[in-house]
Amino acid sequence: DAGVIQSPRHEVTEMGQEVTLRCKPISGHDYLFWYRQTMMRGLELLIYFNNNVPIDDSGMPEDRFSAKMPNASFSTLKIQPSEPRDSAVYFCASSHSSIEGNDGYTFGSGTRLTVV
Amino acid sequence: KNQVEQSPQSLIILEGKNCTLQCNYTVSPFSNLRWYKQDTGRGPVSLTIMTFSENTKSNGRYTATLDADTKQSSLHITASQLSDSASYICVVSLGSYKLIFGSGTRLLVRP
């Protein structure tokens, strides 16, 4: 099992450019989560999907952020246009059931995004 | 306001020594409490998960305790190793998908 796979590992882009982050969850997991981690705010949930359907996107900071999950094995987080304050590490995580009592909540290695 | 506070913010210990990390929370409703280890440049990895009825749980050299009355948890690391150098994050679940993350304790184990 390769775990949750994220790409790219690092992304440096200029302000105003579009950025797309990718995630492949663990096969069989039906929940997928996107998190953002910064020094100031720690880990924050942006959005999560259940069976490819977005359930709650209340953590998405603004309309510049969008996420899709076209199938059970792939999800994207897009920022358009990007701004310097979007610089952070973005994590994808997946789980095979609801979180309650379940320790099968696996994070990817993250994408470090730098917007200059 | 739902909050998870961890202390200390950072800690340096010598290899072989024990240490204890603290977590206080003001989260309601409470479903479970987790401790995660995050190595530099990696995603968090779960160490333990406890429901409100559990007082202690161990995972190798890691032992977590929970006092649901005082809303406190601790993570004790025994006989520390250099590989224990990481950030340790306390996470409290409100239920369903909602997790409240602490800001973490950065542990450095020196030889």
Distance from CA of A33 to the nearest CA of B (A): 9
Identify the band that residue B22 occupies on the pLDDT scale cut at 50, 70 and 90.
Answer: very high
pLDDT in tens, B23-82: 999 988 788 899 999 999 999 999 999 988 899 999 999 999 999 899 999 999 999 999
Are residues B75 and B62 in contact, defined by beta-carbon separation less than 8 angstroms? yes
Residue A45 in contact with partner chain B when CB distance is under 8 A: yes
- B3 vs A77: CA distance, rounded Å: 27
Among the listed ranges A34-38, A59-63, B26-30, which one has the minimum average pLDDT value? Answer: B26-30
Mutate to test the interface with A, among B97, B99, B100, B105 (most CBs of A within 10 A): B97
Asked if A43 lies within 8 A of B89 by C-beta distance, the reply is yes
**A36: nearest CA in chain B?**
B43
- CA B37/CA B40 separation, integer angstroms: 10
B107 in contact with chain A, both atoms CB, cutoff 8 A? no
Q: DSSP letter for A58, please.
A: T
The rounded distance, in Å, linking the Cα atoms of B106 and A71 is: 37
> Can you give the pLDDT at residue A1?
64
Tell whether A109 is within 8 A of chain B (Cβ).
Answer: yes
Which residue type sits at A32?
A: L
User: Out of A4, A98, A107, whose CB is closest to B96?
Assistant: A98
> CB under 8 Å to A78, separation ≥6 — which residues?
A18, A19, A20, A21, A65, A66, A67, A68
| Nearest residue of B to residue A104, measured between CA atoms | B46
For A114, the token pair is 């730098």
Q: Name the E strands within chain A.
A: 5-7, 10-13, 19-24, 31-38, 42-50, 53-56, 65-71, 74-79, 88-95, 105-107, 111-115
Whether residue A42 and residue B95 make contact (CB cut-off 8 A), yes or no, is no
Query: In the predicted model, what is the mean pLDDT of residues A91-103?
Result: 72
A34 near A48, Cβ under 8 Å?
yes
Looking at residue B57, what is its pLDDT?
A: 94
pLDDT exceeds cutoff 90 at A9: yes
Kindly identify which residue of chain B lies nearest to residue A92, measuring between CA atoms.
B43
pLDDT at A7 over 60: yes
